[in-house]
């Protein structure tokens, strides 16, 4: 066995990115300000969503979105069994119950049929997961949820740059992206929520910053008032400009980053094609662009003598 391994992740940070962060530090405005606003505008334009809201993490945005959607005790939230712990954690912390649906063994994506079977009169939300950079069949899931009268919150933490049937993920329902350092682009720590729901967007923005109607950048740049109207108790989840500028710099490189990841995935697939007991995930059958956030393989312990 090798003594050293490939790093799990190496963020794409250029000297120009570092210089841009330094410029923000010198500007005198390092917290939520023009760079956060620029990032939100860029993501909204790319996805086609009406609103994009940046925060300290995708997990923070999941917390805010669940509260803004009124999820609480007695409610059920249907989600995929293959997901990161942050989503079920936030559901539990809201006092609601996670209802997990199994995923397809070849793609690790949850199907519309499995979600439909899990919905009960207590179901208040469905959270489909775009896993590893591959999109779920969101049209089929939307059809189920529309028929059953249940809203959707897309877990797109792995899926910035993912496309589904020619459309960028994040432009339809409410979706949450992660900008953690292991993702295709990063803000150091951070996340972005996209939505076309005006009321939800306003609620999330307020909860993100103490429950205030406006933040410091709004007051300075747009003269909004009153200075400190607390609409309801909120949190401190606003992203800082010194984080946002990294993602602002990297977003224009996202397509090139995905293309390079595609090339590397093809090399891995070719190299593993004749290896017994190692099987990469299948790509979805519907039209899509895979963001290649993760390259996942399944291991047959009996065939290769190892469990991982």
**pLDDT at residue 230, rounded to an integer:** 83
- At 227 the pLDDT is 62
What is the pLDDT of the chain when averaged over all its residues?
93
Q: Are strands 288-289 and 163-164 parallel, antiparallel or unpaired?
A: antiparallel
SS3 assignment for 188-247: CCCEEEEECCHHHHHHHHHHHECCECCCHHHHHHHCCCCCCCECCCCCECECCHHHHHHH
Specify the pLDDT at position 4. 77
% of the chain beyond a pLDDT of 70: 94
| pLDDT greater than 60 at residue 256 | yes
90 vs 63: CA distance, rounded Å: 6
pLDDT tens digit string along 170-186? Answer: 998 899 999 999 999 99
Q: What H or E segment, with its residue span, contains residue 175?
A: strand 174-178
Taken in order of first residue, the domains within the chain and their CATH numbers are 15-252 (3.40.640.10), 257-304 (3.90.1150.10)
Residue 295, SS3? coil
Nearest to 33 by CA among 185, 216, 191, 161: 216
Q: Which helix (H) or strand (E) holds 144?
A: helix 138-148
* CA–CA gap between residue 239 and residue 55 (Å, rounded): 4
CA 120 → CA 79, 104, 149, distances in Å?
13, 21, 11
Q: Which of 69, 35, 30 is nearest to 54 (CA)?
A: 35
Tell whether the model's pLDDT for residue 304 goes beyond 80: no
pTM score, two decimals? Answer: 0.92
Catalytically annotated residues: 183
| Chain segment 201-225, per-residue pLDDT in tens | 999 999 999 998 765 555 455 555 5
Q: What is the DSSP letter of 253?
A: G
């Amino acid at each position: 066995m090798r003594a050293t391994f490939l790093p799990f992740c190496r963020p794409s940070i250029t000297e120009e990115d570092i210089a841009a962060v330094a410029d923000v530090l010198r500007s005198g405005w390092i917290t939520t300000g023009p760079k956060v606003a620029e990032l939100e505008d860029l993501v909204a334009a790319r996805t086609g969503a009406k609103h994009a809201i940046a925060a300290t993490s995708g997990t923070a945005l999941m917390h805010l979105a669940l509260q803004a959607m009124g999820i609480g005790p007695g409610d059920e939230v249907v989600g995929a069994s293959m997901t990161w712990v942050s989503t079920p954690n936030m559901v539990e912390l809201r006092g609601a119950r996670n209802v997990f649906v199994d995923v397809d063994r070849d793609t690790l994506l949850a199907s519309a049929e499995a979600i439909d079977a899990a919905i009960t009169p207590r179901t208040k939300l469905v959270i489909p997961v775009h896993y590893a950079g591959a999109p779920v069949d969101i049209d089929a899931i939307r059809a189920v949820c529309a028929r059953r009268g249940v809203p959707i919150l897309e877990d797109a933490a792995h899926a910035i740059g993912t496309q589904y049937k020619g459309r960028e993920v994040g432009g339809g329902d409410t979706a949450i992206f992660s900008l953690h350092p292991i993702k295709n682009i990063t803000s150091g720590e951070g996340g972005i929520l996209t939505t076309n729901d005006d009321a939800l967007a306003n609620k999330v923005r307020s909860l993100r910053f103490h429950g205030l109607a406006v933040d410091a950048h709004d007051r300075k740049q747009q003269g909004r008032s009153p200075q400190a109207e607390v609409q309801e108790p909120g949190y401190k989840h606003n992203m800082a400009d010194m984080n946002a500028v990294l993602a602002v710099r990297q977003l224009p490189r996202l397509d090139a980053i995905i293309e390079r990841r595609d090339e590397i995935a093809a090399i891995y697939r070719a190299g593993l094609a004749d290896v017994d007991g190692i099987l990469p995930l299948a790509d979805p059958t519907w039209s899509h662009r895979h963001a290649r956030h993760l390259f996942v393989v399944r291991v047959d312990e009996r065939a290769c003598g190892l469990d991982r």
